[in-house]
Amino acid sequence: YSESFWELAKDLSSGDFINIIAFIFTLLFYISILPILISGISIIKKNNKGFVISMIYFIVFETLLIVFQSISTYLSVFAIVLIILNVVFTLGAFVMLILRGKNMDHTIDPKKEAKEVLLKNTKIPLAVLIVDLIAVIILVSTFVFPVYSAVISNTIYHSVLASVLFLGETRIEVVIYFLVNFALFLGMVLYFAQCISYYFYDKESFIKKSKTLISYIFIVTLVFFLSGLGMVIYHTLIGNIAQTIAYIPMLLNSVVIFVFSVLMGKFHAINHSVINTAKVRFARIESLFYVIVITAITGLMLLLKIIKIDIVSGSYTDTVELTGIAILRDYASLDPGYRIIAFVLVVMLIASGIFLLAAISSYLAKYRKFDNIVKSATMINIFFIFIISISGYYFQIGQQIDKAIILDIFSFYGIPVPGSINDYEYLIRSDAIYALIASVAVLVIMFLRKAFDHEEMNIFEPALLPASDGKIEDTSSKLSSDTDDESFSTFDPCPAFSELDKKVDGYGKDLEKRKSQKTKDKTLHELVHFVVEYAKNSRLHLSYTEEDIATFVAGLGASKLSILQGMSGTGKTSLPKIFAEAILANCDIIEVESSWKDKNELLGYYNEFSMKYTPKKFTLALYKAALNQDIFTFILLDEM
C-alpha cells in the first residue's frame, strides 16, 4: 500500500483489514482533539486531571501504532521516526506534568527540606542521574543487539528486534520478543520519566526510585539474555549452528549496578545514622571475601577436567579430557548427556555471576540484608559445584551402557581407535571432585568464622548510663567481658566534641607544665602591679592603670559574666587577652556577627537528618573549658 491512512479510510466499503485499521486510526486522531481541550480546562482550573488523560491517550495511541507496524509493516521509516519522537515528547510532557503538580502543592516537609539541602551540596544525585541515563541507553541496546544468530538454510540470520519496525521482520518469535520487550521498555521509560521529575524537588526519593529502576532494567536485560540462550539451545537441537551475544547488555548493566552501589553507599552514609549494634569482630568484608573465593572455585570448573576418558588395549593408550570450556565449545557435536552438562554449566555461570554481583553491590551499598545474600550466594555455588562433580561419576557408572558413545567422542576429537570397540578397556574419571572438596573447605571455614551468624548475634548497643554518682558510665566495657566474640560499634552524635576528648591527655601535660611555672602566693596588690607591668612590656606595649586592672579583677570576683564597655580602640578586647596571658590562663575569642538572628548562631544546631549536633565556636570553647577545669579560662564575646 502506498496510500495514506486518510485515503485508505475513505475506502472502508472494500472491507479490507488495512482499510478498517486506517479508519480506526483516523477516528482516533480526530478524537485526540478532546484530550487537548480537556488539558486547556485543567489550565483554567489549575489541576492536572486533563493533562493526565491526555498523556494516557497519546501514549496508548502511539503504542497502538507501534504494535500495528510490528504486525503489518505498513508504515514508512519516516513515520516510525515521527512516532518515536512523539513518544519522547510525550514522556517529556509527563515529566513537566509531575513538576507542575509539585509546584501547585506548596506544602514542604521541614525534614524533607533539610535532606534536600544536604543532598544539593553533594554530587551524588547528579551521578545517579547519569547512571540512570546509561542504564536506559543499555536498555535501548536490546533492540539493536541480536537476540541470537543462526545459520539457517546456509544463510546467516541475525534476530534483531529493531528489524521488526524498520526492516519488516515477520518471524513470529521475533515479533513476539519485540512486543514483550517493547512493553517492558515502555514501562521502564515511564518510570524513568517519573524519576527525573523527582530529581528536581525530592532528591532522596529520586535516588531510591533510581534503585528500583536499575534493578528492573537488569531483570529486563537478564530476560533478554535468557531468551537468546533459549533460542540458541533450540536451534542447536534441531541441527542449526547458533550463538548469541545477548549477554552484552546484561554485562554492561552489571557494571552500572556496581557503580550505582558505590553511590548508594555514599548516599546511605549521609542519609542514615549508624545503628548502634553489637557485631562480631571481623569486618563484613570477610564474608564478601568468602563469596568471591567460592565463586572463583565455581568459575574454575571451566578449567577442570570434568570428564577424563582413558582407552587402554595392551600397549596402546590414549586419553580424551573434557574440560568445562571444551564441553561448552563442542556440546552440539557431543552426546545429549554432555549437552545437559553444558546447559548446567551455563546456568551455573549465570547464577554464580548474578549472586556475586549482588553480594558486591549490597556490600558497597551497605544493604542491611547483606548476610542473607551471602548465604544465598554460598548455597547456589555449592549446589552447582556438587551437581557438576557428581556428573563425572554418573558417566563413570554408566560407561558400560553404551561404549559406542565413547568411541564417537574419540572419533570427534580425531583420535583413531583401531579394531573392535570390545577389544579395549575404558576408564572414565573426573577432577571436578577437587572443586567440591575446596568449596566444602571454604564452607567449613565460614562456619568456624561464624560468617552466617551476623544477624543472630546483633543486639542493641548498651547506652551510656548514668552511675550513682551522677557521672556518665559506659556499660559496654562491662558487657564486652561477657561476650568475648563481640565488640561494639558506637554512633558519634557530636564528632567535634569527640575530637576535643582525644586531646584530654595533652591538656593534662599542659597543666603540669603551667604548674611548674607557678609563683608563690601573691597579694591582690602584687597581682595588679604584675599585670600592669606585664602589659606594658608586652609586644603591643599596652598601657593600663592599676585602677583599671583592680576594677577588672573585682568584677571577676563578683560575677563570672563581665561586660566591658567603651569607645573603639580603648583596649576592651586586649584587656582580657593580656590578663589571661599574664596569669597563664586560656582566652578564646568568639567574633559576634551582626547577621546572627537566633541562639543557634552562638550555640550550634542539631541536624535531624544526620542525627548529629554541630557546635559553634562558643560551645566548643565551653566544652574545652569543662575539660580543663583546673585552668582559668576566658571566653570573650567580641563586638557585641
Q: Using 50, 70 and 90 to split pLDDT, how confident is the model at 148? A: confident
Query: What pLDDT is attached to residue 134?
Result: 93
pLDDT band at 40 (very low <50, low <70, confident <90, very high): confident
Non-local CB neighbours of 227 within 8 Å, separated by 6+ positions: 147, 177, 246
What phi, psi does 283 have (nearest 5°)? Answer: -70, 155
Measured between alpha carbons, how far is 517 from 17 in angstroms, rounded to an integer? 107
Inter-residue contact 131 to 260 (CB < 8 Å): yes
Spatial distance between the Cα atoms of 519 and 390, rounded to a whole number of angstroms: 89
CB atoms within 10 A of CB 152: 13
Instruction: Quickly list DSSP for 365-423.
Output: TT-TTHHHHHHHHHHHHHHHHHHHHHHHHHHHHGGGT-HHHHHHHHHHTT----S-GGG
Q: How far apart are CA 328 and CA 347, in angstroms?
A: 12
Q: Report which of residues 251 and 341 the model is more confident about.
A: 251
**Chain segment 508-558, per-residue pLDDT in tens:** 888 888 777 777 777 888 888 888 888 888 887 888 888 888 888 888 888
Long-range contacts of 127-132 (CB under 8 A, 24+ apart): 127/263, 128/206, 128/207, 128/210, 128/260, 128/263, 128/267, 129/196, 129/199, 129/206, 129/210, 131/210, 131/214, 131/256, 131/259, 131/260, 131/263, 132/192, 132/195, 132/196, 132/210, 132/213, 132/214
What pLDDT is stored for residue 398 in this prediction?
A: 54
Tell me the mean pLDDT in the region 554-574: 81
Q: What is residue 630's predicted lDDT score, i.e. its pLDDT?
A: 81
Q: What is the DSSP letter of 284?
A: T
Q: Per-residue pLDDT for 463 more than 50?
A: no
Which residue, chain included where needed, has cell 517519573? Answer: 194
Lowest mean pLDDT among 198-202, 341-345, 470-474, 626-630: 470-474
pLDDT at 106: 47
- The position carrying cell 562491662 is 478
Mean pLDDT throughout 90-105? 67
Q: Around Cβ 544, how many Cβ atoms within 10 Å? A: 19
Contact criterion met (CB below 8 Å) for 410 and 417: yes
Give the global pTM: 0.52
Name the amino acid, one letter, at 214. I
pLDDT band at 110 (very low <50, low <70, confident <90, very high): low
Round to whole Å and give the CA distance between 494 and 269: 16
Distance (Å, whole) CA 298 – CA 347? 12
pLDDT winner (highest mean) among 91-95, 138-142, 160-164, 234-238: 138-142
pLDDT of residue 307: 78
Mean pLDDT (whole number) for 598-603: 81
Q: Place 280 in a pLDDT band, splitting at 50, 70 and 90.
A: very low
* Sheet of strand 425-429: strand arrangement: 316-323, 305-313, 425-429
Query: What is the maximum alpha-carbon separation in the chain?
Result: 127
CB burial of 253-285 (b: ≥16 within 10 Å; e: otherwise) equals bbebbebbbebbbbbbeebeeeeebbbbeeebe
Q: Which of 443, 453, 494 is CA-nearest to residue 614?
A: 494
Residue 105: the pLDDT is: 54
**Nearest CA-CA partner of 408 in 472, 325, 468, 337:** 337
More confident residue, 257 or 275: 257
In the prediction, which pLDDT does 575 show?
85
Answer whether 87's CB lies under 8 Å from 185's CB. Answer: no
| Residue 310 predicted with pLDDT over 80 | no
By mean pLDDT, which of 95-99, 154-158, 318-322 is the weakest? Answer: 95-99
Please state at what angle helix 172-199 crosses helix 49-72, rounded to 10 degrees: 160
pLDDT, residue 414, reads: 64
Class of residue 401 by CB neighbours under 10 A (exposed 0-12, middle 13-18, buried 19+): exposed
246 versus 72: the higher-pLDDT residue is 246
Q: Which of 120, 271, 258, 114 is nearest to 199 (CA)?
A: 120
The DSSP symbol for 312 reads E
- Per DSSP, 424 falls in state S
- Spell 166-184 as b/e; 16+ CB within 10 A means b: beebeeeebbebbbebbeb
pLDDT, one tens digit per residue, over 396-432 is 555 554 555 666 666 666 666 555 555 666 677 778 8
Q: What is the pLDDT of residue 474?
A: 46
The class that CATH gives domain 499-638 is alpha beta
pLDDT at 53 over 60: yes
Kindly report the number of other CB atoms within 10 A of residue 111's CB atom.
11
What is the Cα–Cα distance from 181 to 183, expressed in whole angstroms? 5
573 touches 618 (CB < 8 A):
no
pLDDT at residue 13 in the model:
67
Q: What is the DSSP string of 430-490?
A: -SHHHHHHHHHHHHHHHHHTTTT-HHHH--BPPPEEE-TTS-EEETHHHHHTT-TTEEE--
Chain segment 21-30, per-residue pLDDT in tens:
777 878 888 7
Average pLDDT over residues 110-135: 78
Mean pLDDT on 48-61:
79
- Whether the pLDDT of residue 282 is over 50: the answer is no
Grid coordinates of 547: 585602677
Nearest to 419 by CA among 314, 309, 333, 321: 314
The pLDDT value recorded for residue 130 is 92
Average pLDDT over residues 195-212: 83
Q: 131: pLDDT confidence band, cut at 50, 70 and 90?
A: very high
Residue 547's pLDDT is: 86
Q: Who wins on pLDDT, 452 or 264?
A: 264
Residue 135 sits at φ, ψ, to 5 deg, of: -65, -40
Calculate the average pLDDT of the chain.
76
Sketch the domain layout of the chain as residue ranges: 464-491, 499-638
